[in-house]
């Protein structure tokens, strides 16, 4: 029998999305969101800012030496001024992120992309890991986030 040649993995399809976003029933603008292979990826700092002051808030710290992002649930997020400021399309720079992630000190295995120097995570993965609800209203093309009470 002929040997099969393994197929080359398909390139990731990365593009900005203009879908509407609601957090706890309120419209939110300014988030830089990319659709990657059919799923919505958000800048981690945007998600932290949107959930700040809710039951799903989390603090974010970065250890450059260890190349590790640390999230602490239940703690207030400290903004750095880059949140919710959509800029130019940076999709051409998208690569899988090599940085590790911990949540409350435990290693978390979530797929992330580095786009324009920021880490983007799949919204549904973050919701599951951090305890907030993610939904989608196809009729209005609206992404929906609801924090824990």
In tens, the pLDDT along 110-126 reads 999 999 989 999 999 99
Starting at the earlier edge strand, list the strands of the sheet with 142-146: 26-27, 20-23, 142-146, 133-137
Average pLDDT, integer, range 54-81:
94
Indicate the pLDDT class of residue 102, thresholds 50, 70 and 90: very high
What is the structure's pLDDT at 98? 87
Average pLDDT, integer, range 24-52:
93
Look at 12 and 110; give whichever has higher pLDDT.
110
What is the structure's pLDDT at 87? 84
What is the structure's pLDDT at 84? 92
Structure confidence by residue, pLDDT tens digits, 131-140: 999 999 999 9
Q: Is the pLDDT of residue 29 over 60?
A: yes
Interatomic CA distance for residues 35 and 42, integer angstroms: 9
Could you tell me if residue 67 is left (phi over 0), alpha (psi between -120 and 50 degrees) or otherwise beta? Answer: left
CB under 8 Å to 86, separation ≥6 — which residues? Answer: 30, 31, 32
What does DSSP say about strands 58-63 and 100-103: parallel, antiparallel, or unpaired? unpaired
């Amino acid at each position: 029998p002929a040997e099969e040649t393994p197929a080359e993995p398909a390139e990731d399809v990365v593009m900005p999305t203009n879908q509407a976003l609601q957090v706890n029933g309120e419209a939110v603008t300014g988030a830089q969101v990319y659709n990657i292979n059919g799923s919505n990826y958000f800048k981690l700092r945007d998600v932290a800012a949107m959930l700040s002051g809710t039951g799903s808030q989390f603090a974010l710290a970065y250890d450059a030496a260890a190349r590790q992002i640390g999230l602490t649930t239940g703690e207030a997020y400290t903004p750095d001024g880059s949140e919710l400021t959509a800029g130019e399309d940076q999709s051409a720079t998208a690569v899988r992120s090599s940085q590790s992630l911990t949540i409350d000190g435990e290693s978390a295995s979530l797929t992330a992309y580095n786009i324009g120097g920021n880490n983007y995570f799949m919204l549904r993965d973050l919701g599951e890991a951090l305890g907030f609800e993610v939904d989608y209203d196809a009729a209005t093309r609206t992404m929906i986030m609801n924090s824990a009470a």
